[in-house]
A and B are shown apart, each in its own frame.
Chain A
Amino acid sequence: MSTLTSRRMLLGRIAAAAVLATALAACGSAPTPAAPGGAAGGDGKLVMGFSQVGAESGWRTANTKSVQESAAAAGVELKFSDAQQKQENQIKAIRSYIQQKVDIIAFSPVVETGWDAVLQEAKRANIPVILTDRAVDSPDTSLYKTFLGSDFVVEGTKAGEWLVAQYQGAAAAPVAVVELQGTTGAAPAIDRKEGFAKAIAANPSISVVASQTGDFTRSGGKQVMEAFLKSQPKIDVVYAHNDDMALGAIEAIEAAGKVPGKDIKIISVDAVKDGMTALSQGKINFIVECNPLLGPQLMDLAKKVHAGEQVPARVLTEETTFDQSQATAALPERKY
């Protein structure tokens, strides 16, 4: 969710060119009547314009693939554009979707603010909008139908609840937790910390004894964990805000002559392939999924919105949690 790269720019440009090409083709072939909420594609297929943030991480790539594949599976004609992490590109893409009179617009906003004008245009053109993965900050909630995405607080809560369940009924010996936070100020870091803290409050013997940022990276997680292993007299549990930091912590724990997963329990969030591999090897104890594969849910919502059905204003991504045996079972099919 951070930097943009020239390779991605190139890919983005190719994607943008492809969108332009389809747009031109659409203009050239059959100018369709502008029936309110009507189908733009002449064959009665639902047409969706989707504007993606970019392709800055493996998570995002998996997210894009999921949207494209599930659109094909659901028989939805997808017009996809990659914004290369620039808001102006997204606004341009949304305007072009409005001009093409697509049936529905879905997008993951690059930033939270500055969407009112273009979403107003979509509303006036009677094209419903669905937000995915990230929210927009606008007082006018009528600008979009629904927001589909993860709830990072819930992810933190799930992690905390598992830990509380582990020590349920045990003697009230203090349990020392160290926390590896994500990038300071990032929404997932703030929310995952908050949810976890609330959940572990249920058992007063569990406490977070140290908490530092590892910047969501492996080397960050490793360096912080190395320092914790020296400054903390006793560490029972590591709670990492993502898998990469947990993987770094594993290496630090091993270098300290301890066994990750046994001497020190590890909880993490994301469930990317490397994390799941470590979980199935017993080096991580529990992973809360942060699911990028929201394509099927998005297509489902799009069809409902198009049919005029009421949908909830906030839809959570279907997310699960994995313990070690579940990870072993799920690993062969893990795509990202």
Chain B
Amino acid sequence: MSKNYKTVNVKTPSIDGKGIMMGRPAYTEDLAPKDALVIKVLRSPHAFAKIESIDTQKASELPGVEIVLTHKDFKRNAYTRAGQGYPEPSPHDKFPLDNYVRYVGDEVAAVAAVDEETALEALDLIEVEYKKLTPVLDFEKAKENESIIHPEEDIYEMFPIGFDPKKNVAAAYSMEVGDVEKTLKESDVVVEDSFYTQAQAHVMLEPHTVNAQIDYQDRLVLYSATQTPFHVRRILSQTLEIPLSKIRVIKPRVGGGFGGKQALHGEMLAAAVTKRTGKPSKLTYTRKEVFESSCTRHPMRIDMKIGATKDGKITGIDCYGLSDTGAYGEHALTVFMVTGSKVLPLYNKVDSVRFHGDVVYTNTVSSGAYRGYGAIQGNYALESIVDMLAEKLNMDPMELRQKNMILENETSPIFEIMGEGTEGTAMNMDSCKLDYCVKRGMELIDYKNKYPRRKTDGAKVRSIGGAIAMQGSGIPYIDMGAAIIKLNDDGFYNLMVGATEIGQGSDTILAQIAAEQLGVDVSKVVVYSSDTDLTPFDPGAYASSTTYVSGNAVLKAAKEMRSMVVKEAARSLEVDIDDIEFDGTTFRVKNQEDTLSLSDLSNRLYYNEDQKQLVATGSYYGTKSPPPFMAGFVEVEVDLETGEYDILEYVSVVDCGTTINPELARGQVEGGIVQGLGMAVTEDVHYAKNGKLISSDMLNYKIPTNLTLKKLTTEFADSYEESGPYGAKSVGEIGIDTPPAAIANAVYNATGVRIKTLPVTPEKILKGLKEKEI
């Protein structure tokens, strides 16, 4: 749907790229006061233990130590680090510091000192007596284990989420459409299997970092590398009992988040140190702390059972999930629900579908939000089993998908049943070009000639694998984003948004949306984002909401501003509003010579006549969450003697509605694909027997490099979502979902080995090949 946009859907460089490349101070740590106290955290060496005693005297007496904090220094206000809207769908099961430690790396105490060396020395002087408890390290043995990870009585759920800590259950969910057992019993063909996904780490290059200070108005000011400044402010206020009005949270430039910075990490301790000492403080996680003590993707076991008629109509899907939330329940329920709600509707023509299971606590690193948010786990399981079903039906797997997948103007009952933590919202797929994405993707990968495999040199085989995916665009009726646009003298605008730029380019695309509506160049819209004092509310950068939710808010504000300036121009030119034609820079009176520039109007408004400040506000919450869709195809070359494989090309065809910024949208997709490939291929997680994470640095946890794959081909479907700003849907998460299943399917097509535990390593492939020989 080609519209004549001037700014939207037009190649536009990001508004901040130059300053960032030139290395100007922009990130949280760059902005810390030079005299800030350095905070270091004493972390648990045990997977599960009770702190019997803790003696901080020697540490406190060390010259240069300002304060030592332990659990005794905090009132027991249970909270969740999740960084979600309120009331949170995550259990309040965490204390700023606690007398229990629940994983290796859990917080025991914090020291603030004049420098890092002193702080580290003080940590060594803290004497802790632990009573070791039996840890639960295997999530399949967690439920109703005799070792109870959260025995404390003062933790709670905000509303029913299936929270049952005495059974080590953080959340539980169950839903069914039709009678799935009956449907599957009556199906001609049934395939079932279990799939395991690992605790992928975000590995954003900027570690978690925060600094705090008390300003001259005696308010607590935090600079934080966060995706959710407004939630951070609220959670600090509730937990530390500081009035909300006394806290300001500023989000500077953020060096990547991917969900990892939705949660609170150092904020609680930095706020506590500065509040108590009155002195500025900073806390930057070491890379080891990022791995060991922040959060990861929820590892899951997913049992999929799928049925079909002989001619390939999928009749029913039964999905049981067991999700491992680690020591704390951040995003326990919602990630789990997305595993069903943003995966199962892909095959909407089934007679019955069931999704159920538990999210359990274990004594491992806590799980949390991570791009893909449950969908990537579910997608791997579903899109693997669909290929397995196709084989059993003796049918091409893409043909099976085309026959059963969701199409434009269709719906799925799941949308109404499942939301994020609550009931969902019924919606039709007003824009869904999934059929085009599949068709075009097959052309681009040359499916006809390359599927399923071709022999190349010696022991090498090339093969193709594919998968389809969907995501959402914000959380309907829950997440509200807002924008303020201010006109300045000389006729340029400020756009203030709560929306949180974390490197994904939201400041740029929101400026484009405003500029398009206001008819000006992007350079005339100066963006300021994410400062709880100065910008309007926004939930933050998560749930694929910024373009759709915050973008709609910006559009509303821009429309309002446009009508305001037209009204003022009409007053100045002494004509009716309807007689004004406005191209963004010049007002013209219909059928007359009279003109007025926006610059002159602005100067008049601020200096000369009818003086006033023009400010427009827009806020928006979704009443649906239109999914972006995509088809992904990968070509691999497998060495049948070693199991090693090269990734030759990844083709993505995406329907995200209008791409507000085509290059940045491509960046979101390609970045997502490569992150998904990391999960599919190299990002292996290892724990020692005592529960200590081994893969806790970048030497041992391997993310993709620029040699991981040879070629990325990315295209967008021509699509227009009526409810989105200029037809846009989300694009932040959709890219990550397909690689695990596509890789597993391609490897199967090359080798006949089905890998059901991520990542798909050469060693597992070779083991499968050897087992086949026997």
Q: Are the chains A and B members of one assembly?
A: no
